[in-house]
């Protein structure tokens, strides 16, 4: 099975779903909502293996609650991604991991994420893809033990340059 050519710059947008759950001192705090954003990156094709990097920004208006009480909101998440995957021709199956930052009404926090994705070349210039990511954020707003985990799923459209 010959591989396709995935080398080059790309940019696009995504629509997704973000689910956040508090840990430690934030246990019992949770929320979920739609997210939407922009991404841009570069892939390099080594034959059957592809590596790349990407920057991604998502907006959301996710309300955090503890029981019935509102305790804050998540406004945005941005990510710096490293990607590596296998080239199946017009389909790329990849793993991704990297740095993430969440901005909440309580403050922001650094964290990391990891996940899986699949991309399909509709044409040589347009790609549709889907990703599932797991995030872990520690010390939100500089507060020890105010941690949160998040899961996200997104559908993405990208234009290749």
Residue carrying the six token digits 């290749």: 160
- Candidates 64, 58, 63, 61; CA nearest to 77 is 58
Q: What is the pLDDT of residues 51-92, one digit of tens each?
A: 999 999 999 999 989 888 888 899 999 999 999 999 999 999
Mean pLDDT of 148-152: 93
- The reported pLDDT for the residue numbered 94 is 98
User: What is the enclosing helix (H) or strand (E) of 78?
Assistant: strand 69-87
Does 46 have pLDDT greater than 60? yes
Whether the model clears a pTM of 0.85, i.e. scores above it, the answer is yes
């Amino acid at each position: 099975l010959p591989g396709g050519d995935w080398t080059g710059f790309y940019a696009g947008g995504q629509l997704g779903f973000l689910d956040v759950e508090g840990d430690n001192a934030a246990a019992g705090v949770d929320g979920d909502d739609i997210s939407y954003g922009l991404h841009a990156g570069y892939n390099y094709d080594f034959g059957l293996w592809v590596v790349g990097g990407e920057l991604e920004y998502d907006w959301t208006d996710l309300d955090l609650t503890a029981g019935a009480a509102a305790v804050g909101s998540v406004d945005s998440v941005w990510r710096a991604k490293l990607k590596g995957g296998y080239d199946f021709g017009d389909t790329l199956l990849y793993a991704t991991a990297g740095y993430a930052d969440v901005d909440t009404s309580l403050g922001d926090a650094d964290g990391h994420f990891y996940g899986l994705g699949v991309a399909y070349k509709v044409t040589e210039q347009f790609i549709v893809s889907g990703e599932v990511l797991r995030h872990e954020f520690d010390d939100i707003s500089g507060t020890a033990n105010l941690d949160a985990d998040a899961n996200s799923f997104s559908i993405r459209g990208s234009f290749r340059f």
